[in-house]
Structure 1
Amino acid sequence: MFKNLNEKDKKKIYSLLSLAVVCAIALIVISGLPGGKEISKKEDNAKQTNSDTEASQEVGKQDLENKLKKILAQIKGVGDLDVMITFESSEEIQPAYNSNSTTEKTQEKDKQGGERTVTTSSENKTMITSSSNGPIVIKTNEPKIKGVLVVASGASDPTVKENLYNAVQVALQISGHQVEIYIK
């Protein structure tokens, strides 16, 4: 196979092949070390954190509905009451990042007068975590409310209906077209 090569080239090829074999063996050994299991543990923790976040968001939505129901029930003449809030989006958390971005611009000219410009850019973002491996949060955006439905036995009275309508708008800081009041 290497008959046409001189002795120097053969040594280079054999050195590269032996280096490749050593690297392959090192990769196999490293993947078997306990550190490889830590990566899967981190992935499991991330999945668990995601499901915990979804559960806490659902609890937060229920709390908001209960608070609104409690406050609306105090309005005179409302009677029996049910409240449902729909959300356009869930709570959004913006974590802190360390970011590095680099841009390289290379201009090449050949002997025939041709020009070529090559621009290479890269960006590296790393999430900043606390000592408990949770992300450091810069900002949390509240979930966006899509609409509110209120069903009340006292809504047959126009004054009570208007009071409920205004109270929902003020309490949740939403527009009137997002609120519907019905008679129970």
Structure 2
Amino acid sequence: MKRSFWEQIKKRLQLSDKAGNKQKYLLVLLLLGISLMFISKMIDSPAQKSSLNGLVPETKVKSEAVFKQAKEVTDKNIKTYEDRYSNELKDLLEQMQGVGKVSVWVELSTTEKKEFVTDDSTQSQTTSENDKNGGKRTIEDQKIDEKVVIISNDGREEPIIVTTEKPKIKGVAVLAQGAENIQTKSMIIELVKKVFDIGSDQIFVGPKNPEGE
């Protein structure tokens, strides 16, 4: 019966004393060398490298994707409000007597803010210490744990909104046909102040080119 490779090695290690210890040592070294080569090939195999390379960047990609998505949503919300306010103000101004075609630009400093119902728990701890001079010191430690209350609405989990604060206006620019008239310009400024609750220093009004749309 044909012996396996390891059985042959084992037999050779059990040499008689006539072969001498030198041949035993050489065979042991040969066996160790073969084992090291086998382990080295396993570590450097392309499949294992590919597996490792596939795991490490995956976490990084997910982190970047989540961060980018959150930023895009914020920018989109602000742009949506700016367009909405611009269109509403444009429609309103074009109905004003003495005003023709209007172009409006609105810039926001913040998007809307929402206040949610929270479940707050407070933990207080008071510690008294006496020093060697007979003095007494009291240390108070307070920890507040705040959690947003979540409810189920049509199978979806949503927070309870208490109030919603509208976006803050940074500035408004209006180009209007008829704004070259001082009285009309003044009326436009007053209207914008009332609508957006901002100061006149945040508003620019100028005449629009009659040929422009």
Contact 2:77–2:111 (CA under 8 A) maintained in structure 1: no
Deviations 1:48-87 (CA, angstroms, capped at 9, x unpaired): 6775465344212211110000010112332221111122
Question: Percent identical across equivalent pairs?
Answer: 28
How many residue pairs were aligned?
A: 142
* Superposition TM-score, scaled by structure 2 size: 0.56
TM normalised by structure 1 equals: 0.64
Select which of 82, 89, 92 maps to 1:61. Answer: 82
Structure 1 equivalent of residue 149 of structure 2: 128
How far, CA to CA, are the matches of 1:87 and 1:57 in structure 2? 7
4+ residue segments displaced more than 4 Å: 44-54
Q: Unaligned stretches of 5+ in structure 1?
A: 1-43
Distance 2:66 2:83 in 1: 26
Displacement of 1:173: 2.5
1:136 CA displacement: 1.4
Aligned CA-pair RMSD: 2.8
Query: Which one-letter code corresponds to 2:81 in the other structure?
Result: G
Q: What corresponds to 2:125 in structure 1? A: 104
Q: Which runs of 5+ in 2 are unaligned?
A: 1-64, 209-213
Partner of 1:92: 113
Is the CA contact 2:78–2:110 (under 8 Å) kept in the aligned structure 1? no
- Which of the numbers 154, 157, 176 marks the counterpart of 1:152? 176
Distance in 1 between residues matched to 2:129 and 2:181, nearest whole Å: 80
Instruction: Give the Å deviation of 1:175.
Output: 2.3
Higher relative contact order (CA 8 A, sep 6+): 1
Q: Which has the greater radius of gyration?
A: 2
